Structure 1
Amino acid sequence: MRADALRWHLLGIVETLCLPDCWIGAGFVRNAVWNHLHQGAVAAPEGDVDVIWYDPDCTNAAEDRRLEDHLKTLEPAIAWSVKNQARMHRRNGDSPYTSATDAMRYWPETATAVAARRIGLDGCEIAAPYALDDLFNLVLRPTFRFRAEKRAAYEDRIRSKGWIGAWPLLTMA
């Protein structure tokens, strides 16, 4: 993350929010790793930059929108998406999540269930409830909910994202 100036900068911006259990996740980390492993140039984050945080005492969606607006004033070129994971279980039909990392266990792919946060000038912490093997080994594997119950949604997602074309070394598990 430190080697990617834009991502490092964005992690620093999010750190200034001082939100509890706060991370930037999903494609922000996944795509950076896949680009690196495909020996591609460092590329700006594509699509939304997914900021996740966890505070069960502040589950009003309006707070997420306020944070998005604030982030847009700090870095307007970025498509910020902010979601307090303490309320997202309702939208997803899951049991309540206990942390941001717990919420990531319900994301579609193991390689996507990863997030980073900056700690001070030089520190970076990674959250990965399914570990990092699939991400670094370029394996697309559905998480438990998407193996059977939501398999069609997982397969549609893989096709619609065009990941195999963009990163041809990916394999499906």
Structure 2
Amino acid sequence: MLTLVATLELPDWWMCAGYVRSIVWEENRYERPDIDIVYFDPIDLSEVTEKRHEGQLRRLSDIPWSVKNQARMHLINGLPPYKSAKDAILQFPETVTSIGVTKRPDFELYLPYGANDFADRIIRPTPLFQIGTARHSIFQRRVIEKGWQDDPGLHICT
């Protein structure tokens, strides 16, 4: 998959979030999510460009892809502008969703909150989504939507 994405030559790109988490956990209980690709291009903020990249990937592999330019996502998320794709990943809702992998040209893994929550299967909010923040309800909703509270192998830390 990384090699396919690399053919697009996107600036500052990362495969990230749920798909990567499910691979780390070797998780087969849930349907695999789409493959999230984030990149950072402050020059071209067009959603049309993102859709074109998704189409290119779908022609190479019949998998659901989501390609998002993080240079424009602050407009949608109501947050200050991100500085890079890594900065965006850092601000995902859960520590175990804040994971990225790339190959530009070398393989690189980005775990801004470390590997412990992955190893211990802990669902924990990142600082932006912790109790007492305006975004904590988003974290709580995601736990319910994904059915994590019903999985005895996971530990939810609010």
> Normalized against structure 1, the TM-score is what?
0.82
Q: Secondary structure at the match of 1:145?
A: helix
Give aligned-pair identity as a percent.
38
- The 4+ residue runs of structure 1 with deviation greater than 4 A are none
Kindly provide the amino acid, as one letter, of the partner of residue 153 in structure 2. Answer: L
Aligned counterparts of 2:46 and 2:86: Cα–Cα separation in 1? 20
Deviation digits for residues 69-127 of structure 1, max 9, x if unmatched? 11111112x0010000000011111111011010112211011010111355xx52111
Partners of 1:26 and 1:114 within 8 A in 2 = yes
Aligned counterparts of 2:117 and 2:78: Cα–Cα separation in 1? 26
Corresponding pairs, count: 155
State the match for 1:170 in structure 2: 154
Across the aligned residues of Structure 1 and Structure 2, the Cα RMSD in angstroms comes to 2.0
Q: Secondary structure at the match of 2:35?
A: strand
Distance change >3 Å, CA 75–CA 45, structure 1 → 2: farther
Aligned counterparts of 1:59 and 1:135: Cα–Cα separation in 2? 33
Kindly provide the amino acid, as one letter, of the partner of residue 17 in structure 2. Answer: A
State the match for 1:66 in structure 2: 52
Q: Secondary structure at the match of 1:52?
A: strand
Gaps of 5+ in 2: none
For residue 140 of structure 1, the aligned residue among 96, 115, 123 is 123
Q: Secondary structure at the match of 1:131?
A: coil
Partners of 1:53 and 1:85 within 8 A in 2 = yes
Aligned counterparts of 1:131 and 1:111: Cα–Cα separation in 2? 9
Give the superposition deviation at 1:47.
Answer: 2.2
Partners of 2:122 and 2:156 within 8 A in 1 = yes
